[in-house]
Structure formats: C-alpha cells, structure tokens
Amino acid sequence: MHIDYILVGLGLAGIAVAEELEERGKSFVVFEDQSQTSSSVAGGMYNPVVLKRFNPVWKAAEQLRIALPFYAKLETRFNKKYDHKIDILRLFKSVEEQNNWFLASDKPLLKPYMVPEVLENDNMNLKADHLMGKVIETGRVSVRELVEDYRSWLKEKGRLIELGFDHDKLTILKEGLSYGDYKPGRVIFCEGNGLSKNPFFNSLPLEGTKGELITILAPELKLEQVVKSAVFVMPLGNDHYKIGATFNWTDKTNDPTEAGREELISKLQNVISCDFEIIGHEAGVRPTTTDRRPLLGSHPDHPSLSLLNGLGTRGVMLAPLMAKKLIMFLENGTPLDPETDISRFNKG
C-alpha cells in the first residue's frame, strides 16, 4: 500500500505532526505501542518564564502563538476541554529573589507574563515567608486525556497501528521505502526516549531524564493557582493536586520509585502545612537534549527518514511549533532553525 507517511510514536510530538499532515491532506498511519509515557505522565503546564532564574523561555511568544490555537482546534473536534487557564505563583526564597523579580518583570520578553509586584500570601496552608510573584498567560493541558482521545480518533479512521515499530523491518531502496505492506514516502520518528533503540538516529545526544510525580488529595489546601517552589503544586479540581517533579539522569525506566516518592513528600512538606493523602504515583522519561533544544530534521544519508524529538519538559508549548517547522521543511523545503536542526551535531 502506497502512503505518504508512517509516523512512529503518539505523544505530543506525534499528535502535532499528525495534525500538520492532516491539514495538508496527506495519507499516514501511526505506529504506537504505548511504550513511552512521558507525554501522558507530564504535568502539562505551559509557562513562558523559566522560574528558576526568571529568564524567558526560548521563543516563548512564537510557541504560544501556535500552541494555543492548536489545542483549541482539538477541543472543538473532540468536544472536550484540554486547555485549562491557570496562573502560577512563584514562592520567593529571599528578599534578593523579590528584587530579581522586579528587575526581570521589566524586561521586554518577560513583561507580558510577569506581574510587577510582590504578592501577599492569604492561604494559611501555604508556606510563603518571603511572599510570591505571579506569572500570567499560563495554563495546564490535560495531556493524558488528549492522547487517549486522539488515539481513539485515529483508530476510528483506521490510521492507528497498535504495534511497536521494528526498525529492522524497514527496507530502504533506491525506489523508496518499504515496511511490511506499506510503501511510505517518508517515515517520521516521534519516539521520545525510545530514540535510544532507533538505529538511524540513536547517535544523537538525547539524554533521557526520568521524572516522577505524585497526586494528592488535600481538602484543606484550597489552591486556585499553580504554586512553584521546590516542587510545583498543580490544582486538578475536587481538592486533587499533582506534585512534581523529580529529575533522575541515570534511571531510564518508567517505574515509580520509593526514593522519588519520598523526595516529593519531603519537598512538598516545605511548601504546604496541611495534611494530604497520596492517591497516585507515576513516572516517565523526558526526552531531553544536551543543548536543551529540540531535535528536528532528516537523516544525512537517508533523507526520507526524519524525526521530531527532544522536547524535554516543555512539550506542550514546543510540539505544535516544531511539528509545523518540520513539515514545512519536508514538504516545502523551508530551512530549519539551525538551533533545532540535527545537522548541528554533524559538524566537525
């Protein structure tokens, strides 16, 4: 069967690429065995400010300009609410951080997002001795629900192959590609940390970074914004909150650990003072890169093989823009940003 594209992987990157192909009327199927969990496990926040040092996120305005209509379109298609607008409160550790907040909030790239004042804490269950600042134009995307709905939609259309992709069965001939019964024009890999098993692209410097999160029930907390301190505390509704996240650069499994759980509990107890019950614990491996930029482009020897990967902790914001850039490159020959083009790693 001749087909324009095979996509491998259906996290945020895979969904974003599929949407670009759908808009162009391209034929495609998606191979997905649910072996990678980072998209579904992630907190799903979009936030244009790096809250550790109050720096702007790389190309934040451009990312949001593409991402917000992207999720709105899917909300309309599936008649679901995925994008939940919610502000972020950044708890300050010191007076010095308060001063740094004021300085940063006046910078052109940060001014639209940082409220230029220090806020008092009126929540008795929140530990904010040095007060806090507010970030606006932020939100939470229900990624797990979106992925599940998109899977169902693809399945209904006969475009979902619920199997892992066997790289060894891909045949590259002068006249084109062949994989089983399919003869695709191109294959795009959106495998997340599964890239390590991809013989065509596994030389790229992808650092899988494991993250663990817990979900708690805390009826007394009554938070209406996300709180960011040593961990983030994200309201989910009905007194449920997601707490995260850990960073582990050595463990590449998707299994929750007791060490990760205890780390999150310890840090959470430094942020809130009320009782809570842990009702969920999950983990996933984020596809992060050595230079903290996404991986886009085609194989230097096999240009019909391409990838979108390395979205790290900001997949919600990055995926729609990066997918658009990749498909414009493949279909229109539009050059990729040198900061994201995988050819940056082929230079001597």
Judge if 213 and 284 occupy the same domain.
yes
| Dihedrals phi, psi of 290, to nearest 5 degrees | -65, -30
Q: Pairing mode, if any, of strands 88-91 and 295-298?
A: unpaired
Read off φ and ψ for residue 302, nearest 5 degrees. Answer: -130, 80
Which residue in 59, 125, 112, 117 sits closest to 90, CA to CA? 117
Q: Are residues 186 and 295 in the same domain?
A: yes
Rg over CA atoms, the chain = 21
Summarised one tens digit per residue, pLDDT across range 141-179 is: 999 999 999 999 999 999 999 999 999 999 998 889 999
308, 216: one domain: no
pLDDT tens digits, 67-118: 999 999 999 999 999 999 999 999 999 999 999 999 999 999 999 999 999 9
Q: In Å, how far from its chain's centre is CA 93?
A: 27
Domain for residue 229, yes or no? yes
Question: Is residue 75 one of the residues assigned to a domain?
Answer: no
CATH of the domain at 93: 3.30.9.10
What are the tens digits of pLDDT across the range 227-281? Answer: 999 999 999 999 999 999 999 999 989 899 999 999 999 999 999 999 999 999 9
In a domain, 60, yes or no: no
Contacts of 78 (CB under 8 A, 6+ apart): 149, 153
> Which domain, by its residues, includes 225?
85-138+207-288
pLDDT band at 42 (very low <50, low <70, confident <90, very high): confident
Cα angle 223, 224, 228 (rounded to 5 degrees) comes to 70
Model's pTM, two decimal places? Answer: 0.94
Domain boundary among 288, 306, 337: 288
Query: What pLDDT, on the 0 to 100 scale, is given for residue 36?
Result: 60
Number of domains in the chain: 2
Are 31 and 164 a contacting pair, CB within 8 Å? Answer: yes
Asked whether residue 107 is assigned to any structural domain, the reply reads: yes
User: Do 281 and 150 fall within a single domain?
Assistant: no
Per-residue CA distances from 339 to 55, 193, 227 (Å): 18, 20, 31
Taking only the tens place, the pLDDT of each residue in 197-231 is: 999 999 999 988 999 999 999 999 999 999 999 99
Confidence of residue 39 (pLDDT cuts 50, 70, 90): low
The CA distance from 328 to 336, in Å, is 9
Whole-number pLDDT of residue 347? 60
Which of 212, 84, 65 is CA-nearest to residue 141? 84
Does residue 33 sit in the same domain as residue 169? yes
State the average pLDDT for the chain.
95
33 & 98 share domain: no
For residues 223 and 100, state if they share a domain: yes
Confidence (pLDDT) at 38: 61
Q: Is residue 64 part of a domain?
A: no
- The residue-averaged pLDDT of 170-192 equals 95
- Domain termination residue (choose one: 288, 305, 326): 288
Banded model confidence at residue 348, pLDDT cuts 50, 70, 90: very low
Domain boundary among 241, 273, 288: 288
Tell me whether the omega of the peptide bond preceding residue 245 falls within 30 degrees of 0, making it cis.
Answer: yes
